[in-house]
Structure 1
Amino acid sequence: MPRNALFIAAFDSQLKWCGRIRDEFAGRGYECRVVVPDVRSALSAQQIADAGFDRVDSMNWSNLLDVAVHSDVVVCGLSGPITKGFSVELADRRRAAGVVGPVLITGWVGVIIEKITAGYLDRCGSDIVAVNSVADFDHFSTVGDRLGLPADNLVLTGLPFLSPRPQPQRTGPIRRVLFADQPTVPGREVERRYVYQKLVDYAYEHPDREVILKPRHRPGEDTFHKMLYHPEAVLAGIEQPANFKIDYTPIGEVLDSIDLMITMSSTACLEALDRGCRVALVLDLGIHERYGNQVFLDSGLLRTFDAIGADQLGTPEPSFLDSYFFDRDRTSTAIIADRADELVAAGTRPSHTAWETDYLRSAAAFHRETSAGPGGGRPNGQHSLVALRRRMVRHGPVKGVLAQASVSLLPPILNRSLRNLIRNGRTL
């Protein structure tokens, strides 16, 4: 009987990450199924197609756990907190069913620009934590050691869409320039308007170059990070030169023809370096965690628009490249699948030991006691009673009941209004 692998994703970036790994397992004869759980998700037909899939299945949380616990391999591409809830409840289901359970694989779908430690701890209850860089691996190993967590589930794999060694950087004239946009970086409208205007100005200054703005998604589509100010809306009414355009072609399909990629902190910069593109990371707004560019301080690629316009571009620091493009004799996905095959065949699961540590036992207990959404440990009615008691203690009997009612019964806009009234001590 062929082995089976379950892939879980909710957004396009997660689906693309799962897709690369799915191709590896499918090539080894696994029966593969891709599922979108009933958590916050958004996948348009075009996003599904761009990720290389014909279709995906939808499934409620409880059924997903039932299917997962009897799978050979589960690849979870969900965000950290949801992955943590999934791993807690999968461990509970596995114990209740008296089975060894699947090999649970987790990781990051791109460069980690925030919650680096928290993200690892959300995933440390899995059997394979696929780590993207040497720097991340060293950090996670240190954190795990401090908390008494076993390290045998940490696997240095690299990102699935990167090769072991990038192509030489192109040196010819710059003819095509691509700006890789991000949904929430920068987050404020005035910041986005500034960046987009600088791109338009660059196009005017270099009429012999094609300047392409690649939005993260089309208007009406969604990603894990919600975009509030789409470039089409921000640039509406701003005069643009003939050599400037907005284009939605997937980045992977155009990189071979791009001479320079500009971005704030997108993982796409690594894809560009891999394909030999020159890269500039925008420095005009400063260095800040909300831009994610603090992780690129050692890259050698941070530049102002003035420097970019003058073609004063950097070259990547060797140590930065070596962290993401480290020597290995296999692809990233082969490293992941080889380890999974080994664990399936042996019937061993590193996560079983991890769940016996003080840290994960307490983390699991806290999740079961407090979680109230998909991935929560209590039935919905029990969640509501616990939440009601908590709000009554905090606000008093009358306001506590009103606060619980606002969460349970009212739409968000009325919910916010009622919470404000309760917080300010007013009566309805």
Structure 2
Amino acid sequence: MPARTRSGNSLRVAVLADSDTRWKWGALTARRTVGDDSGADITGFLLRGRATPTSRQLTEVASSVAAPREVTGTEFIDLVRTGPYDVIVLALVGGSVQAMLHGLAHLWPHPARRPVLVTGYVGVVYEKLADGLLLRHGADLVLANSPYDAERFREVYEGVGADAGAVTEAALPFLGGAPYDGRADALVFAAQPSVPEKRSDRAYLLRRLVGHARLHPARDVVLKLRSRPGEHTTHIEELPYQRLVRDLAPPPNFRLAYGHMGEVLDRTGLLATVSSTAALESLHRGIPTAVLTDLGVREPLGNHYFLGSGCLTSFDRLDQGHRPAADPGWLARHGVAPRPDPYHSVRTKIAELLDRPQLPPPAPYYTSATATGYLPGILARHRLDEAPPERLTGVRRVVRDAMRDAARGAYRHGVQRVAPVIRRMGEL
């Protein structure tokens, strides 16, 4: 894709994300979309909410994009109105994507020279397939991470009579890193914030991981964690592994790890997980990867996504030295096998859209006619069900913004800190 628009100006790209993992996906997708060396101007925004990442989490993303600024949905719409962008990447949960699409559609009710709207999924799409896809319908490009996903996405859109032309095959933008050379031996368990949910299941996985460390004292066993206590990612973690492991007295070869997943994979000889997207990163490098069946192969766990991969196994087998071998056909179909340029189609389509003198208004599948009982609640959560507020200036605006920031801070503290404590006390 050209690094400049037809007018000769550098491409201006806006990325709007709502969590650390989606910021990582959005920022890296923007880089892959416009080209790493294109000189494009990429600006990041964080949609305020319960999962707004900390500075430490943003630093770990290592996307080479400047730190994003926090905005509300209505503030972002206003920024797009006043500051023209060529491409907007919506790295958000489905409901937020839908709300932003409707908000942006109000800016261009008729064909116009407007930004190309891009959205997609951060990782493994194993639940709420129809719901999530229909909430993303209306973007110019809905990125699919594999041939398998692209086929499923088109089937959903065509099944409801919606245009499936936006579905564009790409890849997870963070796949990469050095191929596995067989020298590293550490077993790394990639934890997930909400899978599994039950305390007993999480405690079981920890016991088995610590037990594996005791059985293999010469092997490093690493518990790779997504966030520190008090931080949040895409999902709220109410039972952090850091707290559960305190009572197990792990041996010296067991340790916790944070930081960039790619750096941890550089030292990994066997990755184990329930269903983390880290499994795809590991498989892409050729690292032996174990998707655990100890808690069953169940849709709520997400490990059913790996059926046919050759990776499904148990701690009993890992304790005995088993190293799963992935099926090459499954890897290719699920977008994990290395490809020369998986973003070529994305760049080509964006370039073609940018070259048009006008684009039609965004047209989400959900409207007041197709989702009368569903859409209003989605828009209301982002204050996009109201008429645009009057523009305030001077002291009134300062006071209003200060009150809103205080209210948001109190809400976030309640959701992230107080509510989990109350729920844990209720379980006693």
- Which bin holds the TM-score, normalised by the shorter protein? 0.7 to 0.9
Is 1:9 paired with 2:22?
no
**Equivalent in the alignment of 1:325:** 336
Tell me which of 143, 157, 179 is aligned to 1:130: 143
* Structure 2 counterpart of 1:33, one-letter code: T
1:20-419 map, 5 Å: 20-24=28-32, 25=34, 27-52=37-62, 53-69=65-81, 70-95=84-109, 99-162=112-175, 175-323=185-333, 324-325=335-336, 328-332=339-343, 334-347=344-357, 349=359, 352=362, 354-355=363-364, 362-363=369-370, 369-370=376-377, 371-374=379-382, 376-378=384-386
CA distance in 2, matches of 1:351, 1:295: 35
Larger-gyration structure (1/2): 1
CA distance in 2, matches of 1:364, 1:345: 33
Consecutive unaligned residues in structure 1, runs of 5 or more: 382-407, 417-428
The count of corresponding residues between Structure 1 and Structure 2 is: 377
Shift of 1:368: 5.6
Consecutive unaligned residues in structure 2, runs of 5 or more: 1-8, 390-410, 420-428
CA distance in 1, matches of 2:289, 2:341: 26
* Structure 1 counterpart of 2:174, one-letter code: F
CA distance in 2, matches of 1:42, 1:83: 16
* Structure 2 counterpart of 1:224, one-letter code: T
Q: 1:367 to 1:299 in 2, by over 3 A?
A: same
CA distance in 2, matches of 1:10, 1:47: 13
Conserved? CA contact 1:12–1:43, under 8 Å: yes
Conserved? CA contact 2:112–2:361, under 8 Å: no
- Normalised to the residue count of structure 1, the TM-score between the two structures is 0.81
**Equivalent in the alignment of 1:387:** none
Shift of 1:380: 10
CA distance in 2, matches of 1:209, 1:76: 42
SS at match of 1:104: strand
CA distance in 2, matches of 1:48, 1:14: 11
Shift of 1:348: 5.2
Q: Deviations over 1:224-249 (max 9, x none)?
A: 10111111100112111111011113
Q: 1:319 to 1:262 in 2, by over 3 A?
A: same
* Structure 2 counterpart of 1:5, one-letter code: V
Conserved? CA contact 1:263–1:282, under 8 Å: yes
Q: Deviations over 1:339-361 (max 9, x none)?
A: 22221122454774x54x6x656
* Structure 1 counterpart of 2:114, one-letter code: G
- Normalised to the residue count of structure 2, the TM-score between the two structures is 0.81
SS at match of 2:355: helix
CA distance in 1, matches of 2:66, 2:166: 32
Conserved? CA contact 1:282–1:304, under 8 Å: yes
Conserved? CA contact 2:20–2:61, under 8 Å: yes
Shift of 1:170: 5.3
Greater relative contact order (CA < 8 Å, ≥ 6 in sequence): 2
CA distance in 2, matches of 1:55, 1:280: 35
Shift of 1:57: 0.9
Larger helix share, 1 or 2: 1
Q: 1:338 to 1:39 in 2, by over 3 A?
A: farther
Q: 1:210 to 1:351 in 2, by over 3 A?
A: farther
Q: 1:190 to 1:138 in 2, by over 3 A?
A: same
CA distance in 1, matches of 2:51, 2:259: 22
CA distance in 2, matches of 1:257, 1:232: 21
CA RMSD of aligned residues (A): 2.7
Percent identical pairs in the alignment equals: 29
